[in-house]
Every structure is written in C-alpha cells, then in structure tokens.
C-alpha cells in the first residue's frame, strides 16, 4: 500500500564547506572595514560622547553583518542546492530529520553569549554616559512650537535657535518644553532627549570641533515640525566670550530686585494652577507629587529650610522660584523656563504666604 | 499501524462530535451574518484587503510627497493626517485582522479538526465590529483626521483635529473585537481539538495563534484604558495627560506601549506560524525543531510584556530603568534566532519546490532577520539616543512589519488560496509578483536606515536637500511595490476566471485542512478524524483516520496508509 518514496542523499550538500568559508571570509573583511571606518554611520562627530557611541555601532555592526551574511547566504545556498530536480517524481521527499539537539544547543548558546556580551558592552557605555562630568557650562533648552530657546546662567534674555558652546568645555543641557513634546537631537553628538512639558531631561556633551552643527526636533510637534531646526555653534574661548558679552552677559545670578510687596495673592493662585500645580499640591509637605506640598511653606517647623539650604523668607522663596533648583532631591525649572516674570514671582510668593497663614 | 495513540478517545465522545448542524439557506445568514468560521475568515480577508489598498494608497502619497525636499503634493497638516492614518490603519485594520481574523478564522479550526470555533456568535460580533470601526476611522477624514502619528502622543494629540475622537472610538472598538477573537481562539484551541491531537501534535500555525491569544486580550485592555482616558480628556476635559493641569504625558506613553509592544508580536507570531506551515510543505521535510519553534513563540509572547519602555529611552523615565528594558529586549533575539535557524535547517536537505508561498517564506527569513538585527541597534540604549524618532526607526519597523508580517500574509494567501477558492493561481505571475514586492520593498526601506542615521527625523513633510537622492530612490522603489500589490489582486481575479481546479491537496501537505475538499464543505468534517501522529512527517503515512470519502477527502478511510503527493 505505501508508495515508494525517493529519498535524496543526506550529506551536508555539495560545496557546503566552501560556502561556509566564504561566509567567514566575507564577514571578516566586512568586520575589518567596519572597525576601521572613521565614520561608521556616515556622519562626522563633533564631540563626546559620539566617539563611544560610534564604537558601539561598529561592534554591533560587525556582529550583525556576520549573522546577516550567514542567514542570507545559507538560505540562498540551501534553496539552490536542495531544490527539487526538474524530472524528480512528484512523491520525492527531503531528508526526514526532526531535530539535532547538539546543533540546537549551540545555536541557542552562541547567540545567548553574544547577547550577554553586547548587553554588557552597551551597559558599560551607558554607565559612562551617566557618569559624564558636564557641569562647567550649564544651559537650559526650552522647546516651543516651533523653535528652541536657550537660557544661559548669566544672560538675561534667551537665545533663540542657536546654542553657543565653548570648545572642549563639558556642558550640561537641561531640556524641557513650554507646550507639547519636542525632541532635542544633536546628531553630530549622537545625543537626544525628548522635551517634555513639566519634566526636565538632561544630556551632557563636550564639543571637540569648532563649527556649526544641527539641532533637529525629533518628536512630532505640529504642522511645522519639519521646519523646527536649530544649530549648535561651537566656538573657541575668545569667540565664545565675545559672543557672550555681546548678548549682554552679566556677572552674578540673583533673584534680587523682585518687588515682593507688590505681589497679589489671587493672581498668584491663578498662576499656581497654571505653572506649579503639575508638580506641587497646596497640601502639607508630605502630599508630594513631583515636588513637596507647599500649603505650609512659611509655617512648617519640620522643614525650616528650603531645598537649596536657605531660610524660608519671602526673598529666599522668590530667589528659588527665579533660579530653579537642581540637585539630589529633584529638579525644578527656573522662572525663565516656566516663563514667569518678576511680577509673577511676587504674586506666587504672596499666594504661598497667604496659604501658610490659613 | 492503525492502533490509536494514547489519549485518543473514541466511542460516545465521538458520537457527540458527529452531530452536524444544517447549513443555513438564506443569502443573508449564509454570506452576510454568517456564523461559519470560513465565511467569517473570508469576510475578514476582503475587508482587510480593502483597508490594505487604502492604506497602501496613503503610503504612496507619503512617498510622493517626499520626492522633493519641500514636499511635492500636500500641505504639511494634510501630510501629518495621511501618515497617521496610514499607520493606524495598517496596524489595527490590516495586519492584525488579516493574521488572526482572516487566516486564524479560516485555517485554525480546520487544522485542529473542528467544525467551527468555540463561540460562533461571538465570532460574528467580533467580525462586524471591524468594518464599522474601519468606517468610523476613515470618516475622520471628513472632520479632520488625526495628525499626531499612529502613536498620538499627548499633549499634541489633545489639540488635534476632531477626527482624533473618532480615532479613539475606532481603535477602542477594534480592541474589543480583538479581545473577543483572542478569547474565542484560546477556548477553541484548548477545548476543540480532534481526538488524539495533543498539544505537541498541533500544527505550528495553531501554536502561533495559541501564543497570540493572551496578548490579544491582556495587552488590549491597557490600550482600551489609555484610549478611554484620551477620549475623556479631549471631550470632557478631565486632565489625565495634560501636564499644565496635573496630567502626565508619559502616562500615555507607558499605557500605549504596554499594549503596542505586545501588539508587535500579535502582528508577527501568527506570521511565524504561516512560515512554519509553508516551509515543511514545500521542502517536503518535517519542520526542524518542532518543539523549539512552538515553545519559542510562547517565550516571545511572555517576554513581550516586559519590554515596552524600550520605545521610551529618550522620553525621560528614571535612567536606571533603561537597563532592564534593554536587556530583556535583547533577550528576545534568542528565541527569535532559534526560529530563524530552525527554518533554515528545514530548507537544508529538502526537496524544495519553489512555488510562490515558498519564495515568500524564504524572503521572509531574509527580511525579518534584517529587521531583527536593526532592532538590536535600537535596543542598545546609547545607540537609541541617536536613532530614536528618526527614519532608522521607520525603516526598522517596516522591515519587521512589512518584511515580516506582510510577507507572511502573502505567503499564507498564496498557500491557502487553493483551499479557500478551490482554484489554483497562475504560478508564473505569482513568482513575478514576489520578485516585484521583494526587490521593491528592500529598495524602498534599506536607504531609509541611512537617512535616519544621517539626520532625517520621522514624520516630516520636508527634508534637507542633501537627502533627496535616496528619498527619490525609495519613492520609485515603492511604486514597484505598489504595482506588485496590484498584480497580486489581478492574480486572484485571474484565478477565479482561468484557474485550474485545485483538488483537496494541491501542495501535498499533511495538515488536516488539506484532507478535505477545496473549498471545504459547510461542516468541514463529516466525521471528526482521529489524529495519530505529528503533522509534518513526510516520510511517514498520513497521521489521520476517520476522514470520509464523501467529503472529497484525499483518501477514503482508512487513510493512514498513504502519503500525500503534490498534484500541482
């Protein structure tokens, strides 16, 4: 009853080892070219951490190229060598093999080892990025529809769409948004962080080449998203200093000069709802959202100091709102990021002082 | 030979299974509001094909727009709506309904030897939600279609046009449909397999559907919650996501990706199943490593629940959380690699008949491997800082979703077309169609990787003039792909008019759906067959008994003494 079955030969196939050798040689040659390429992603680097990220790209590229070569070449080769011959009877069947536990062990074990190596290498670079020193210059980048504003510690006015940096100066950029999500992408530095309203993200870079580089919005933000492009201008020390003084840079950073007594509590209450309530409640200190509750700010024996270590006086609170805060406890954007005028700050202080009296 | 394997029940149990309902006679009950899984599967297929054509046209508008650096065709806000609708429609109204709704419905009950799914009426409701939701989605073009991408990140989606509300409703509805189908299939597979079909005798397509079901009904609930909140915030002003009023934009991202990453596997695991059916049939070999392929699907499904935040490495979550998400994402490469290697080993030593489904399966191996490897570049957090939100991501996701899901859909369409229609298609045209799609696809999406790395962000209607060459190259290639897709539909029409009769088993396959007439009769199996062995042993006689010759079965009872031989 059973039909006669025509079984083909069961060797590895003609030319299996030459094809394997070809895959190995091709992968090694590609590995050589990837590892020695100065710009593996085809884009020049303008500073750290681009170098270590390019190195990771090269390493992944070598592994990926080898795997891809093997999969494509073996698939095509098996497809040609093991095709059904034209004149074969229709009941021809292939080699009736179900599994090969040793082979399966190795093709599970080797990728597992590769994954572990790649994960460790990626983690190492990630840790390096987290530990980067970047606080010689600190800049705030605020995204809005459709541009970037940059605030420097000693400049009164924001600079629009141009981020001036000093050559070889480690720089920390605090990133947030005024309206919707934006992306802050510095392709030549291989760094990116989303600009999220109500949240401050941080990237650290050290430019090592003078010139102009791109800032690209990488998160959809509206009709003109494609036109939201700025530039990084990396300058040497003299040029940077000249540009900085031309912007009206002054020494010292204060919250002084705010006329606190002119503050109106009801205007402050409205402002608080718009600008502060995303992170602060008006309950007790413990009713923490992102930041502490501020209902008893001026009258809280358990917390006699502000987060920056100063006393809880109206002037100190105004300064904290003006300067913002960044430390282990968290991050609060400055008044410039929050788009608060000095009069707004005074109104907020009046409102908070009123709350504490209740 | 003819002794029943352990676990095969006969006797009274069989008598219950042999009860057959009469076929409905009215046109409406037979073809419109049918409860027959085969008709519902074909309804899914036709509806999905309509949305596929619409979404494809939207994609061609995108590529035509990008022929010139300043945008050739439409205004930026229109362009934003077009790619948002393209993505939403392809994910929720094409790939998921076609893989589970169409092929799952038509093939899975046949493969397990059942007469229908466990809950036929639920199946009917789940299907009819689908075209209604699709009409709601596309009617948003009348009032201003959503324009913040298929991900609809707030706060920008809170300000989006009124159609965004319709988008929420439509996707919510399709989520309900998907949940119903998931539960239905889970029960069907667990409770309705033919006697003797143990879990490890199930065809791998059934295993794939089985692994997908929990994703459908667990992950989809998260999406439903997120969509409801977005709708409530947009319509009634309850601030879930608006940071100005105490909401959190990241909340949406977490909820959305908690669904949408498992959804990636809802869109690919059934495709894995199709490839695992096609390769052994055309290589005329047992699938290599059956259990590893079956269990790796389950492993991928489980892991897929703990990787969602790899879409959010630049969003601003706690930095240390990035590491576990990176490592688990990388781990998914291991079960996926096991599958790829097993498929290659299935080709090895075969007697391969390079029919169109087999070409698509081999093409799938190559393109999906490419997409998997670029996924590794995105999983590595430091590299993701550069690649996130760029055309590199667009290229990667099309390699896994088109090069993976759509290629497997084409493979399945050619493979089961003779079973559905009873007719063969034109093989020469099929092969030409494969090469048009395969070459067109690779030439469209490979250059987009480079553009992304060089600095082209996604979702832009205009770009730097230095990127024009590769954009034009990609657009022209996409037209080849579009022509290939048109040719596919011509091949189906041609098959109806000129196709040869397929007969029950044109490919000489060994799974149960090929043991009965093409197209299958209303009741599928006059007598429920008993299953004696695993599905892909071409060297062994057929592993089924009890099929009735009156159904046009390949062999009259007893069938277990003969081998299937391809007739086409």
Q: How do residues B139-161 score in pLDDT, each as one tens digit?
A: 999 999 999 999 999 999 999 99
> What is the arithmetic mean of pLDDT over A146-158?
88
pLDDT for residue A256: 47
pLDDT reading at B327 higher than 90: yes
Using one digit for the tens of pLDDT, what is the confidence trace for B349-370?
999 999 999 999 999 999 999 9
Using one digit for the tens of pLDDT, what is the confidence trace for A157-204?
889 999 999 998 889 999 999 999 999 999 999 999 999 998 999 999
Residue numbers in B near A216 (CB within 8 A)? 455, 457
Distance (Å, rounded) from C-alpha A295 to C-alpha A288?
A: 11
How many CB atoms sit inside 10 A of residue B199's CB? 12
Q: B158 to chain A nearest CA, in Å? A: 10
pLDDT reading at B278 higher than 80: yes
pLDDT for residue B18: 60
More confident of the two residues A278 and A96: A96
What CATH code is carried by the domain that includes residue B289? 1.20.210.10
Those residues with Cβ within 8 angstroms of residue B315's Cβ, 6 or more apart along the chain or in another chain: A194, A196, B250, B253
Which ipTM was obtained for this model? 0.92
Arithmetic mean of pLDDT over chain A:
86
Using one digit for the tens of pLDDT, what is the confidence trace for B461-511?
999 999 999 999 999 999 999 999 999 999 999 999 999 999 889 999 999
* Domain match, B169 and B312 both: no
Residue A257: pLDDT band by 50, 70, 90 thresholds? low
Q: Does B321 touch chain A (CB under 8 A)?
A: no
Using left for φ > 0, alpha for ψ between -120 and 50, and beta otherwise, residue A67 falls in alpha
Asked if residue B122 belongs to a domain, the reply is yes
Could you say which of B235, B267, B299 is where a domain stops?
A: B267
* Domain match, B195 and B280 both: no
* Domain match, B471 and B493 both: yes
Asked if residue B200 belongs to a domain, the reply is yes
Question: Does the annotation mark A150 as catalytic?
Answer: yes
Residue numbers in B near A56 (CB within 8 A)? 380, 382-383
Q: Does A56 touch chain B (CB under 8 A)?
A: yes
Arithmetic mean of pLDDT over chain B:
91
Q: Does B390 touch chain A (CB under 8 A)?
A: yes
Query: Which of A219, A231, A275 is the best substitution to test chain B (most B C-beta atoms within 10 A)?
Result: A219
Q: Tell me the sheet residues that pair with A214.
A: A231
* Domain match, B41 and B141 both: yes
Residue B167: pLDDT band by 50, 70, 90 thresholds? very high
* Domain match, B122 and B243 both: yes
Residues 152-191 of A with CB under 8 A from B: 179-181, 183, 185, 187, 190-191
**Residue contact B244–A278, C-beta within 8 A:** yes
**Residue contact B156–A181, C-beta within 8 A:** yes
pLDDT reading at B557 higher than 60: no
> What is the arithmetic mean of pLDDT over B45-60?
97
Q: Which domain holds residue B290?
A: 271-502
Tokens linked to B485: 């897709």
Q: Are A107 and B338 in contact (CB under 8 A)?
A: yes
Residue A327: pLDDT band by 50, 70, 90 thresholds? low
**Residue contact B565–A90, C-beta within 8 A:** yes
Asked if residue B76 belongs to a domain, the reply is yes
**Residue contact A222–B156, C-beta within 8 A:** yes
* Domain match, B166 and B315 both: no
How many CB atoms sit inside 10 A of residue B19's CB? 8
Those residues with Cβ within 8 angstroms of residue A251's Cβ, 6 or more apart along the chain or in another chain: A154
Asked if residue B84 belongs to a domain, the reply is yes
Q: How many CB contacts within 8 angstroms connect chain A with chain B?
A: 282
* Domain match, B78 and B214 both: yes
Secondary structure of residue B489 in the 3-state scheme: helix
The minimal CB distance from B319 to the residues A42, A130, A225 is found for A130
Q: A278 to chain B nearest CA, in Å? A: 4
Query: Which of B253, B338, B386, B442 is the best substitution to test chain A (most A C-beta atoms within 10 A)?
Result: B386
Q: Are B408 and B364 in contact (CB under 8 A)?
A: yes
What is the C-alpha radius of gyration for chain B, rounded to an integer number of angstroms?
24
* Domain match, B230 and B366 both: no
Asked if residue B366 belongs to a domain, the reply is yes
Residue A299: pLDDT band by 50, 70, 90 thresholds? confident
Using left for φ > 0, alpha for ψ between -120 and 50, and beta otherwise, residue A47 falls in left
Listed range (A6-10, A76-80, B44-48, B429-433) with the worst mean pLDDT? A6-10
Tokens linked to B440: 């067109």
* Domain match, B290 and B429 both: yes
The minimal CB distance from B156 to the residues A49, A74, A220 is found for A220
More confident of the two residues B327 and B546: B327
Asked if residue B152 belongs to a domain, the reply is yes
Residue B559: pLDDT band by 50, 70, 90 thresholds? very low
Q: B261 to chain A nearest CA, in Å? A: 19
More confident of the two residues A323 and B195: B195
A150, A184, A189, A240: which one is catalytic? A150
Q: Does A328 touch chain B (CB under 8 A)?
A: no
pLDDT for residue B1: 36
**Residue contact A53–B341, C-beta within 8 A:** no
Give the number of domains in chain B. Answer: 2
Residues 217-256 of B with CB under 8 A from A: 243-250
Q: Does A93 touch chain B (CB under 8 A)?
A: yes
Distance (Å, rounded) from C-alpha B137 to C-alpha B50?
A: 14
A146, A148, A184, A213: which one is catalytic? A148
> What is the arithmetic mean of pLDDT over B91-106?
96
Residue numbers in A near B333 (CB within 8 A)? 111, 115
More confident of the two residues A71 and B318: A71
**Residue contact B454–A75, C-beta within 8 A:** no
Distance (Å, rounded) from C-alpha A45 to C-alpha A54?
A: 9
More confident of the two residues A137 and B42: B42
Q: Does B549 touch chain A (CB under 8 A)?
A: no
**Residue contact B370–A223, C-beta within 8 A:** no
Distance (Å, rounded) from C-alpha B472 to C-alpha B69?
A: 10
**Residue contact B454–A43, C-beta within 8 A:** yes
The minimal CB distance from A53 to the residues B246, B362, B386 is found for B386
Q: Are B349 and A13 in contact (CB under 8 A)?
A: yes
Distance (Å, rounded) from C-alpha B429 to C-alpha A263?
A: 79
Q: What is the pTM of this model?
A: 0.85
Distance (Å, rounded) from C-alpha A152 to C-alpha A143?
A: 15
Residue numbers in A near B322 (CB within 8 A)? 126
Question: Does the annotation mark A220 as catalytic?
Answer: no
Could you say which of B267, B294, B312 is where a domain stops?
A: B267
Residue A133: pLDDT band by 50, 70, 90 thresholds? low
> What is the arithmetic mean of pLDDT over B108-124?
94
pLDDT reading at B8 higher than 70: no
Listed range (A96-110, A243-257, B194-208, B245-259) with the worst mean pLDDT? A243-257
> What is the arithmetic mean of pLDDT over B419-432?
96
Residue numbers in A near B299 (CB within 8 A)? none
Distance (Å, rounded) from C-alpha B249 to C-alpha B253?
A: 7
* Domain match, B65 and B107 both: yes
Asked if residue B510 belongs to a domain, the reply is no
Distance (Å, rounded) from C-alpha A308 to C-alpha A320?
A: 8
- The structure tokens 């070569």 sit at A69
pLDDT for residue A4: 52
Residue numbers in A near B394 (CB within 8 A)? none
* Domain match, B256 and B107 both: yes
* Domain match, B84 and B215 both: yes
Could you say which of B267, B294, B327 is where a domain stops?
A: B267
Q: B514 to chain A nearest CA, in Å? A: 16
Q: Does B78 touch chain A (CB under 8 A)?
A: no
**Residue contact A218–B457, C-beta within 8 A:** yes
Asked if residue B7 belongs to a domain, the reply is no
Residue numbers in B near A272 (CB within 8 A)? none
Query: Which of B311, B366, B457, B537 is the best substitution to test chain A (most A C-beta atoms within 10 A)?
Result: B457
Q: What are phi and psi of B519, to 5 degrees?
A: -65, 155
Residues 407-466 of B with CB under 8 A from A: 450, 453-455, 457-463
Using one digit for the tens of pLDDT, what is the confidence trace for B256-275?
999 999 999 999 999 999 99
Q: Are B365 and B344 in contact (CB under 8 A)?
A: yes
**Residue contact A75–B347, C-beta within 8 A:** yes
**Residue contact A122–B326, C-beta within 8 A:** yes
CA distances from B454 to A148, A184, B280, B381 (A): 21, 15, 42, 18
> What is the arithmetic mean of pLDDT over A296-324?
81
Q: Tell me the sheet residues that pair with A191.
A: A186
pLDDT for residue A255: 44
DSSP string, A246-312: HTT--S----TT--GGG--HHHHHHHIIIIITTTB-SS-TTSBSSS---TTTTS-TT--B-TTS-B-
pLDDT for residue A114: 93
pLDDT reading at B551 higher than 50: yes
Using one digit for the tens of pLDDT, what is the confidence trace for B182-194?
999 999 999 999 9
Residue numbers in A near B377 (CB within 8 A)? 57, 60, 64
């Amino acid at each position: 009853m059973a039909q006669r079955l025509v079984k083909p030969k069961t060797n590895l196939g003609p030319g299996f080892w030459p094809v394997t050798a070809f895959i190995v040689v091709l992968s090694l040659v590609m590995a050589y070219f990837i590892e020695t390429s100065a710009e593996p992603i085809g884009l020049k680097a303008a500073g750290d951490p681009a170098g270590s990220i390019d190195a990771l790209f090269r390493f992944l590229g070598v592994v990926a190229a080898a795997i891809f070569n093997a999969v494509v070449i073996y698939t095509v080769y098996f497809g040609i060598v093991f095709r059904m011959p034209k004149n074969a009877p229709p009941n021809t069947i292939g080699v009736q093999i179900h599994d090969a536990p040793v082979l399966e062990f190795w093709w599970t074990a080797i990728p597992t080892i590769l994954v572990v190596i790649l994960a460790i290498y990626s983690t190492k670079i990630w840790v390096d990025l987290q530990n980067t020193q970047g606080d010689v210059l600190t800049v705030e980048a605020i995204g809005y529809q459709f541009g970037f504003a940059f605030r420097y510690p000693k400049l009164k006015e924001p600079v629009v769409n141009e981020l001036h940096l000093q050559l070889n100066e480690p720089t920390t950029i605090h990133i947030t948004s005024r309206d919707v999500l934006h992306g802050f992408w510095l392709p030549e530095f291989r760094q990116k962080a989303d600009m999220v309203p109500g949240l401050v993200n941080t990237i650290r870079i050290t430019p090592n080449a003078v010139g102009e580089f791109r800032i690209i919005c990488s998160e959809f933000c509206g009709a003109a998203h494609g036109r939201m492009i700025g530039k990084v201008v990396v300058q040497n020390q003299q040029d940077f200093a000249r540009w900085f003084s031309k912007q009206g840079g002054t020494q010292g950073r204060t919250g002084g000069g705010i006329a606190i007594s002119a503050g109106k509590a009801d205007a402050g209450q409205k402002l608080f709802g718009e600008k502060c309530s995303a992170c602060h409640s008006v309950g007790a200190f413990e009713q923490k959202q992102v930041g502490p509750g501020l209902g008893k700010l001026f009258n809280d024996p358990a917390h006699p100091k502000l987060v920056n270590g100063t006393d809880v006086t109206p002037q100190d609170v105004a300064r904290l709102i003006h300067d913002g805060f960044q430390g282990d406890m968290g991050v609060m954007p400055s008044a410039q990021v929050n788009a608060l005028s000095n009069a707004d700050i005074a109104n907020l202080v009046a409102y908070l002082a009123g709350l504490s009296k209740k | 030979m003819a002794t029943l394997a352990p676990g095969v029940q006969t006797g009274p149990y069989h008598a219950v299974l042999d009860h057959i309902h009469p076929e409905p006679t009215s046109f409406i009950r037979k073809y419109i509001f049918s409860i027959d899984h085969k008709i519902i599967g074909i309804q899914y297929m036709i509806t999905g094909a309509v949305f596929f054509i619409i979404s494809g046209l939207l994609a061609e508008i995108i590529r035509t727009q990008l022929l010139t650096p300043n945008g050739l065709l439409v205004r930026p806000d229109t362009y934003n709506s077009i790619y948002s609708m393209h993505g939403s429609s392809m994910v929720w109204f094409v790939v998921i309904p076609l893989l589970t709704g169409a092929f799952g419905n038509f093939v899975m009950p046949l493969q397990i030897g059942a007469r229908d799914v466990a809950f036929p009426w639920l199946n009917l409701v789940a299907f009819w939600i689908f075209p209604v939701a699709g009409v709601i989605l596309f009617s948003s073009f009348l009032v201003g279609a959503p324009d913040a991408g298929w991900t609809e990140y707030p706060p920008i989606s809170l300000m989006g046009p009124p159609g965004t509300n319709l988008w929420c409703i439509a996707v919510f509805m399709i989520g309900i449909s998907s949940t119903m189908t998931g539960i239905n299939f889970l029960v069907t597979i667990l409770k309705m397999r033919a006697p003797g079909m143990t879990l490890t005798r199930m065809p791998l397509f059934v295993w794939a559907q089985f692994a997908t079901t929990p994703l459908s009904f667990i992950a989809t609930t998260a999406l439903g919650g997120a969509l409801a909140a977005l709708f409530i915030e947009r319509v009634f002003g309850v601030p879930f996501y608006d940071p100005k009023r105490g909401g959190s934009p990241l909340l949406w991202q977490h909820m959305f990706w908690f669904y949408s990453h498992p959804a990636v596997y809802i869109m690919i695991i059934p495709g894995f199943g199709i490839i695992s059916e096609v390769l052994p049939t055309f290589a005329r070999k047992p699938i290599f490593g059956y259990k590893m392929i079956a269990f790796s699907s389950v492993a991928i499904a489980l892991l897929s629940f703990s990787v969602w935040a790899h879409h959010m490495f630049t969003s601003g979550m706690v930095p240390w959380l990035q590491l576990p998400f990176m490592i688990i994402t990388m781990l998914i490469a291991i079960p996926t690699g096991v599958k790829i290697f097993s498929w290659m080993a299935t080709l090895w030593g075969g007697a391969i008949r390079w029919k169109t489904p087999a070409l698509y399966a081999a093409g799938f191996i190559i393109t999906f491997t490419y997409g998997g490897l670029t996924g590794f570049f995105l999983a590595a957090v430091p590299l993701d800082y550069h690649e996130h939100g760029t055309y590199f991501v667009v290229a990667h996701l099309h390699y896994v979703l088109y090069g993976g899901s759509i290629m497997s859909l084409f493979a399945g369409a050619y493979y089961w077309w003779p079973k559905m229609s009873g007719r063969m298609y034109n093989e020469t045209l099929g092969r030409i169609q494969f090469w048009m799609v395969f070459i067109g696809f690779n030439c469209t999406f490979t250059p987009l990787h480079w553009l992304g790395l060089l600095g082209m962000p996604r979702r832009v209607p205009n770009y730097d003039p230095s990127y024009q060459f590769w954009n034009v190259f990609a657009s022209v290639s996409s037209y080849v792909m579009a022509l290939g897709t048109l040719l596919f539909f011509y091949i189906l029409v041609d098959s109806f008019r000129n196709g040869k009769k397929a007969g029950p088993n044109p490919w000489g396959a060994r799974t149960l759906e090929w043991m009965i007439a093409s197209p299958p009769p209303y009741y599928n199996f006059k007598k429920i067959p008993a299953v004696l062995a695993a599905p892909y042993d071409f060297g062994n006689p057929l592993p089924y008994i009890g099929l009735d010759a009156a159904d046009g079965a390949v062999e009259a009872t007893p069938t277990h003494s003969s081998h299937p031989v391809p007739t086409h």
